[in-house]
Amino acid sequence: MRIEQLTFTRFIAAIAIVIFHYGKEANLFHKEYTSFIFKQANIGVSYFFVLSGFVMIIAYGKNSNINFFQYIKNRLARIYPVYILAIILILGVFLFQNINGADLILNLLMLQSWFSGKALTINYPGWSLSVELFFYITFPYLFNRIYSKQNLKTVTIWIIIFWMLSQIVFHLFIYNIIELPYFNIKDIKYLPLLHLNEFLIGNLTGLYFIKKLKNKQKNFKFHILISIAILIILLKYPFGLNYHNGLLIIIFVPLIIFISLSTDSFTKLISKKTFVFLGEISFGIYILQAPVWRIFSDYRMDKYLGLNKEADFTISFFVRLLILITLSSLSYLYFEKPLRNKIKNLNRY
């Protein structure tokens, strides 16, 4: 099963994260009544994690058992080629010099988020792929041993309890009420174990969708708009809470369900090929953003395009964003997708 209209939401989340990293000071995003949204747009990563959990169940929900090795090969085929491409581009920018060998090894193995002070090394958006790899490895066990054998009520109870405990523990850490040996407060934001709740909630949403909701399509446009409005209110008034590690599932889950089921004109529009394609290249947009901004540095933008770092900040951002989208499209069509298919077909026959 594939829910096309959800694919485009990945593009929106990816662009929001790029704006958070590089564009929140641009005139378009720095307005008095909107800047609070883009200053917190990194919540898009949390949305990715929840959506990942949901999509995994949608993709494998009809299976009675998941073969780990075939499954992990397919998962790595999806993310690893362009992940490595991003690292190579970063290394190229530095002419393969002044790169810490241990950092490089951790990044190549996608383990950087497990080590203190290493999550943002080399290609900093890659930290979330370190977390995703953890999800990928745990999913077959969860599916084969728990989701396929326990009833939905039991699974719901233990996942909700785990989510609640995760939020409590995370906030205790993040506000320095308790300390975690070896890790500092900044490390906590990237630690895979503290993001597992997001993936599990996504799994639970997928299980509930398949068993209870998939045939209940109707126009949910109003519900989608209300969910977005509540999200904006929560970003405007965070009440001292940190949304980085799954607290916003209270909005993301209904939003995913409503978009998946809605038959309104907008969800039909974003199910079209053009919008689905933009969703497909969202991973490239996310993982290649740092290489693009390093390659097209402020110095090069000024030297070759005459765009001053301060005076032309907004136009400079959009030029680089256009380059990023173009590069991600080319990467998807001529590198990522062909290589993924070759890897998936290895030893098939």
Q: What is the pLDDT of residues 278-314, one digit of tens each?
A: 999 999 999 999 999 999 999 999 999 999 999 999 9
Residues ≥6 apart with Cβ < 8 Å to 69: none
What proportion of the chain, given as a percentage, has pLDDT over 90?
A: 85
pLDDT tens digits, 12-24: 999 999 999 999 9
Nearest Cα to Cα of residue 223 among 231, 215, 235, 213: 231
Q: Give the CA radius of gyration of the chain.
A: 20
Does residue 39 surpass a pLDDT of 90? yes
Please report, for the chain, how many H helices and E strands are present, in that order: 17, 0
* 308-317: pLDDT as tens digits: 999 999 999 9
pLDDT of residue 344: 80
pLDDT tens by residue, 93-113: 987 778 899 999 999 999 999
Please give the pLDDT value at position 239: 84
This model's pTM is above 0.85: yes
Q: Which helix (H) or strand (E) holds 223?
A: helix 221-236
Q: What is the mean pLDDT of residues 239-259?
A: 94
Q: How confident is the model at residue 59 (pLDDT cuts 50, 70, 90)?
A: very high
Over residues 157-186, the mean pLDDT reads 92
Q: In this structure, what are the phi and psi dihedrals at residue 218, rounded to the nearest 5 degrees? A: -165, 180
pLDDT at position 349 is: 46
**pLDDT for 184:** 87
306 by Cβ neighbours in 10 Å (0-12 / 13-18 / 19+) ranks as exposed
**Which residues neighbour 329 within 8 Å (Cβ) at sequence distance 6 or greater?**
277, 281, 284
In sequence order, what E strands does 179-281 have? Answer: none
Most confident listed range (26-40, 197-211, 238-252): 197-211
**pLDDT tops 70 at residue 155:** yes
**Mean pLDDT within 120-135:** 97
Residue count of the chain? 349
Nearby residues of 152 by Cβ (< 8 Å), 6 or more positions away: 207, 208, 211, 212
For residue range 160-174, what is the model confidence (pLDDT) as tens digits?
999 999 999 999 999
**Token output for 29:** 């995003």
Question: Does the structure show a pLDDT above 60 at 230?
Answer: yes
The continuous run of DSSP H or E covering 230 comes out as helix 221-236
Summary mean pLDDT of the chain: 94
At 61 the pLDDT is 85
CA–CA gap between residue 38 and residue 34 (Å, rounded): 7
- DSSP string across 125-161: GGHHHHHHHHHHHHHHHIIIIIITTS-HHHHHHHHHH
The neighbour count for residue 338, using CB atoms within 10 Å, is 12
Rounded to the nearest 5°, which phi and psi values hold at 262? -70, 145
